Structure 1
Amino acid sequence: MTLGTKLAWDDTVLPFQLDRSDIRGRVARLDGVLDGILKQHDYPAPVEALVAEMALLTALIGQTIKLRWKLSLQIQTNGPVRMIATDFYAPETEGEPARIRAYASFDRDRVGGRPMDNVGEGYFAILIDQGKGMTPYQGITPLAATTLAEAAEAYFAQSEQLPTRFQLRFGRSTEAGGTEHWRAGGIMLQHMPKASPEISGGGSGAGGLLVARDILGEDEGEDWNRANLHLDTVEEMELIGPSLPPTDLLVRLFHEEVPRVFDAQPVRFGCTCSEDRVRQSLSIYSAKDIEKMTTDDGRVTADCQFCGAHYDLDPASVGFEAAGGSGHEHG
């Protein structure tokens, strides 16, 4: 296997459909994206794993939505990991890569154990911003799950009435040359949208949340269960290993379901921060407010939580009272 061949499907999301049933899906392989996200921060191992899982979910979900601008995933909890936030930016032009960024806020002194030991009570949220002039969408569901993937499954069942399933694997990989880097792979299955089902009362899942059997009819349920049984046979190296193309993986898992693939979407690590955006975000503040933000060295500084970029500005040049200050807030 040559490096060039490996790169053909690394950092891509491949959409597919199972023609025997009303099920669509995505296969994601992330490599450089995770390295780009995680090398910006000195995360403890459990936090790294949670951020990697959220980034993989973001790649799969973001490619599923007909997105014009940005999809964001968030968890907020009362545990040692207070928040994880990710953004998926749709390609600006046809053929260009989508971009992903992510960061975590946590209490380092309390972090320990397995990744989900650090996630307390809270919620899982999906936010969709289709750009200027469009009303943002936000959906929230309680965190009642043993993995972040299960939290995402609960969100789609509860908020969208779409049965959804994820199989994810991720971790550090060491190649023959001794170079260590992150690899991740995952598959998302989702039942095609139907007319809104009539559901009375709570669901049969944890905490009364809806699950697939609460939403699907008998025949649809059989198709869904059969596809999930196939998915359950996937092995870790098939998801993250460099030797098996996603198309071959789909044939191995779902040949009875007649898989049909579409064009793969490349994804990259990317941040939208800039000095201009920092200046715009500060343009709502008065000179007195800016003075309170000024350091002992006489500067106003800002750090991007996603990519670690550092901005160092002259306080006289920011705020709505600065020369040329526009007073426009960045959206």
Structure 2
Amino acid sequence: MSSISQIAWDDTVLPFQLDRCDIRGRVCRLDGLLNTVLSQHDYPEKIEALVAEMTMLTALIGQSIDLRWKLSLQVRGDGPARILATDYYGPESEGEPAKIRAWASFDKDRLDESAEPFDLIGKGYFAILIDQGEGMQPYQGITPIAGGSLTACAETYFAQSEQLPTRFELTAGRSTLPGGVESWRAGGVMLQHMPKASPSVANDEGGGGEDGVLAASDLLEDDAEENWNRANILLSSVEELELIGPSVEPTQLLLRLFHEEEPRVYDAKSVKFGCSCSEDKVRNSLSMYSAKDLTHMTKEDGTITADCQFCGAHYVMDPASCGKDAGAAGE
């Protein structure tokens, strides 16, 4: 994507804290990463919008977790947008960028061009999965599709599953810088109240969110609630160009929005597109099959092929080198 104009703070996530009100957050700007993600497939415009929103959420959430390996976001619905999936891989070493990949499955024949992107999902669930690697038990949290956006689903997840008041303000779309080419740009802010016990949760009463799920308002009271509401009002004043335009740096944005809340910024973290697929992993996935099973997967030219749903990599393999019987003939 070398033809795309690069801004210094693009493809970065900037952590910050509002010292006056016990709120932490992230500012994220994506361009090259998002363009690479979306260039892997020829998605319709409304599917692109959903993938862009999922990618933004993944970048913000992934950077907010002490992650040793992988965070995954998944959406499954009964509408034409059947599956949305993203993976966030934590940095392999200090100073290295995190890696993100994303993918969508959709039914082209059922797409309604007049529908809002979120409505294409239908009924289903939004899930966050955290895998800290070998020797650790993976964690999964699920919330129903509701609230009118993927962003709202993520906010509900944090309120319901993590009991953390969380707010996202995101925007994404195609834009053109002077002298540049049209490309995707996205920007967003995540706010999250520091963990605090809640009487509403302790009493196990129904929440104030859709279908009785917990919402941020159920988790805070007194000064904490007032501080949270004030920070949300300030965030609501942000303009689209402040989130994705080339003129306002993330640090400047925080001062514009939250100068009275005493924002403190930390080192920005970089993110880039990255896929973990490999021929070895494909072979490993085929290791459970016998030679007889593999004959049903073999093409007319005598090969087995596999494509990565995330990056489009195409693998061509000899059936004799795959499956649980591989190498037996030579022993």
- TM-score, normalised with respect to structure 1: 0.95
Q: Is the alpha carbon distance of 1:74 and 1:173 closer, same or farther for their aligned partners in structure 2, counting shifts above 3 Å?
A: same
Between the two proteins, the alignment pairs up a number of residues equal to: 323
Please give the alpha-carbon distance, in whole angstroms, between the structure 1 residues aligned to 2:7 and 2:135: 38
Q: 1:217: Cα distance to partner? A: 1.6
Equivalent residues in 2 for 1:161-200, closer than 5 Å? 161-195=163-197, 197-200=201-204
Q: 1:242: Cα distance to partner? A: 1.4
TM-superposition CA deviations, 1:124-155 (whole Å, max 9, x none) = 10000000111000000111120100000000
Please give the alpha-carbon distance, in whole angstroms, between the structure 2 residues aligned to 1:287 and 1:218: 66
Q: 1:5: Cα distance to partner? A: 10
8 Å CA contact 2:4–2:181 kept in 1: the answer is no
Q: Say which SS state the counterpart of residue 284 (structure 1) adopts.
A: coil
- What is aligned with 1:134? 136
Q: Say which SS state the counterpart of residue 7 (structure 1) adopts.
A: coil
8 Å CA contact 2:197–2:219 kept in 1: the answer is no
Q: 1:109: Cα distance to partner? A: 0.9
- Among 278, 300, 310, the alignment partner of 2:304 is 300
Please give the alpha-carbon distance, in whole angstroms, between the structure 2 residues aligned to 1:304 and 1:6: 28
TM-superposition CA deviations, 1:98-125 (whole Å, max 9, x none) = 0000000110111122211201011110
CA RMSD of aligned residues (A): 1.6
Please give the alpha-carbon distance, in whole angstroms, between the structure 2 residues aligned to 1:205 and 1:195: 18
Q: 1:178: Cα distance to partner? A: 4.8
Q: 1:216: Cα distance to partner? A: 0.5
- What is aligned with 1:152? 154
List gaps (5 residues or longer) in structure 2. none
8 Å CA contact 1:37–1:269 kept in 2: the answer is yes
Please give the alpha-carbon distance, in whole angstroms, between the structure 1 residues aligned to 2:193 and 2:93: 28
Q: Is the alpha carbon distance of 1:45 and 1:99 closer, same or farther for their aligned partners in structure 2, counting shifts above 3 Å?
A: same
8 Å CA contact 1:18–1:258 kept in 2: the answer is yes
Q: 1:263: Cα distance to partner? A: 0.8
Please give the alpha-carbon distance, in whole angstroms, between the structure 1 residues aligned to 2:305 and 2:203: 52
2:54 counterpart of 1:54: yes
Please give the alpha-carbon distance, in whole angstroms, between the structure 2 residues aligned to 1:192 and 1:234: 22
Q: Say which SS state the counterpart of residue 53 (structure 1) adopts.
A: helix
Identity of aligned residues (%): 67
Please give the alpha-carbon distance, in whole angstroms, between the structure 2 residues aligned to 1:261 and 1:199: 36
Higher mean Cα deviation, 206-215 or 96-105? 206-215
Please give the alpha-carbon distance, in whole angstroms, between the structure 2 residues aligned to 1:299 and 1:183: 40
- What is aligned with 1:92? 92
Q: Say which SS state the counterpart of residue 293 (structure 1) adopts.
A: coil
Amino acid at match of 1:101: R
Q: 1:218: Cα distance to partner? A: 1.4
TM-superposition CA deviations, 1:284-323 (whole Å, max 9, x none) = 1111111111011111000000000000000111011011
- What is aligned with 1:267? 271
Amino acid at match of 2:318: D
Please give the alpha-carbon distance, in whole angstroms, between the structure 2 residues aligned to 1:318 and 1:121: 39
Amino acid at match of 1:294: T
Amino acid at match of 1:51: V
- Among 202, 207, 214, the alignment partner of 2:206 is 202
8 Å CA contact 1:129–1:135 kept in 2: the answer is yes
Equivalent residues in 2 for 1:194-233, closer than 5 Å? 194-195=196-197, 197-233=201-237
Please give the alpha-carbon distance, in whole angstroms, between the structure 2 residues aligned to 1:6 and 1:82: 33
Amino acid at match of 1:236: E
Equivalent residues in 2 for 1:108-123, closer than 5 Å? 108-112=108-112, 113-123=115-125
Please give the alpha-carbon distance, in whole angstroms, between the structure 2 residues aligned to 1:225 and 1:116: 26
Please give the alpha-carbon distance, in whole angstroms, between the structure 1 residues aligned to 2:178 and 2:231: 35
Q: 1:176: Cα distance to partner? A: 2.1
Q: 1:200: Cα distance to partner? A: 2.4
- What is aligned with 1:44? 44
- TM-score, normalised with respect to structure 2: 0.95
8 Å CA contact 2:77–2:83 kept in 1: the answer is yes
- What is aligned with 1:11? 11
